[in-house]
């Protein structure tokens, strides 16, 4: 039997990509499409809104009105926290791709994971999660003998910066080198900044056009540099990963037997 998946933020670009990924999976069924309260899309056919053809599923603006085994949430921090609380209360797994959380909000999500499985990732792309492993290797081999800079680019509509993926990349590198990212991160430079501190990890942000997502981590030494880059050309790469995570949270037999806990995409991929 197909796993019933509901999607929040259904009216957005990512919501439509998720709908395409769910309907394209033989193991999943689109069972809920949720938008913000009062949206003009309420009552519309979810398939038509997603450009997939009429499917008979009406869009709703309350999570309580959706039927689902697993919720996929790519919305905003405040909405995601409320949705995670609902899922924890009802023992439903949730996949979270929302970014821009503060430390206290992340801690709250970890508390919710004690009641129901929760998969939180800054990026659900298989390639990006492979890059996390490559970054660990590069940081371990190159160590403290290089300068590290992270450059990311996204479309003009992205509201948080640096991206959650860029921050995750920075955390992977910092953790491998035994550094605290909050202490060594430098977010942009201007004016007379002085010589670069070797321990810092720099971030640069580009916003414009319709760039889906590009990330490059540079390890710069005298005479050479190593760059690890990921470029996404379609949101479907993220959406398919999120659906894969939703199915994984349901357990091997799709019986809801994945233990409550806080997971990420590398757990899903076995990395």
Q: pLDDT tens across 38-68, in order? A: 999 999 999 999 999 999 999 999 999 999 9
In order of 48, 137, 139, 174, the CA distances from 143 in angstroms are: 52, 10, 5, 10
Res. 256: pLDDT tops 80: no
Q: Residue 149 has which token pair?
A: 């800079």
User: What average pLDDT score do residues 25-36 get?
Assistant: 96
The whole-number pLDDT of residue 36 equals: 92
The whole-number pLDDT of residue 271 equals: 83
The whole-number pLDDT of residue 254 equals: 46
230: part of which helix (H) or strand (E)? Answer: strand 224-232
Q: pLDDT tens across 4-14, in order? A: 999 999 988 89
- The pLDDT mean for the chain works out to 94
Contact in structure between 35 and 41 (CB atoms under 8 Å): yes
CATH H-level superfamily of 3-120+235-269: NAD(P)-binding Rossmann-like Domain (3.40.50.720)
Contact in structure between 257 and 116 (CB atoms under 8 Å): no
Q: pLDDT tens across 94-152, in order? A: 999 998 899 999 999 999 999 999 999 988 999 999 999 999 999 999 999 999 999 99
Contact in structure between 101 and 76 (CB atoms under 8 Å): no
Contact in structure between 184 and 194 (CB atoms under 8 Å): no
Res. 252: pLDDT tops 90: no
| Percentage with pLDDT > 90 across the chain | 91
The whole-number pLDDT of residue 122 equals: 86
| Percentage with pLDDT > 70 across the chain | 98
DSSP code of 226? E
Res. 201: pLDDT tops 70: yes
Contact in structure between 34 and 8 (CB atoms under 8 Å): yes
Q: pLDDT tens across 228-250, in order? A: 999 999 999 999 999 999 999 99
| CATH code for the structural domain at 126-232 | 3.30.360.10
Query: Please, which pLDDT band fits residue 186 given cuts at 50, 70 and 90?
Result: very high
The whole-number pLDDT of residue 66 equals: 96
Q: Strand pairing partners for 206?
A: 153
Res. 253: pLDDT tops 70: no
Closest CA to 174 of 206, 151, 140, 197: 140
The whole-number pLDDT of residue 196 equals: 95
* CATH topology identical between 3-120+235-269 and 126-232: no
The whole-number pLDDT of residue 251 equals: 80
Distance between CA atoms of 270 and 264, rounded to whole angstroms? 10
Residue 243, SS3? helix
Domain residue spans of the chain: 3-120+235-269, 126-232
One-character DSSP codes across 51-108:
TS---SPBPBS-GGG---SEEEE-S-HHHHHHHHHHHHHHT--EEE------HHHHHH
DSSP code of 44? S
Res. 200: pLDDT tops 70: yes
**Catalytic site residues?**
154, 158
């Amino acid at each position: 039997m197909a796993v019933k998946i509901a999607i929040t933020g259904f009216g957005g670009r990512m919501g439509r990509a998720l709908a395409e990924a769910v309907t394209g999976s033989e193991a999943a069924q689109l069972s809920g499409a949720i938008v913000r309260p009062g949206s003009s899309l309420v009552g519309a056919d979810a398939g038509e809104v997603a450009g997939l053809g009429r499917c008979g599923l009406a869009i709703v603006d309350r999570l309580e009105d959706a039927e689902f085994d697993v919720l996929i949430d790519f919305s905003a921090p405040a909405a995601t926290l409320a949705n995670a609380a609902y899922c924890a209360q009802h023992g439903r797994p949730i996949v979270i791709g929302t970014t821009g959380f503060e430390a206290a909000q992340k801690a709250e999500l970890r508390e919710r994971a004690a009641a129901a499985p929760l998969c939180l990732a800054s990026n659900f792309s298989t390639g990006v999660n492979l890059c996390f492993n490559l970054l660990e290797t590069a940081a371990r081999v190159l160590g403290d003998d290089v300068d590290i800079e992270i450059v990311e680019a996204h479309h003009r509509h992205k509201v948080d910066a640096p991206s959650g993926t860029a921050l995750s990349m920075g955390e992977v590198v910092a953790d491998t080198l035994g550094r605290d990212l909050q202490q060594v991160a430098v977010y942009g430079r201007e004016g007379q900044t002085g010589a670069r501190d070797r321990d810092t990890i720099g971030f640069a942000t580009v916003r414009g056009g319709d760039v889906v997502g590009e990330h490059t981590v540079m390890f710069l030494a005298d005479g050479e540099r190593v760059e690890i880059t990921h470029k996404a050309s379609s949101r479907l790469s993220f959406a398919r990963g999120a659906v894969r995570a939703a199915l994984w949270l349901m357990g091997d037999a799709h019986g809801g037997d994945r233990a409550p806990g806080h997971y990420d995409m590398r757990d899903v991929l076995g990395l």
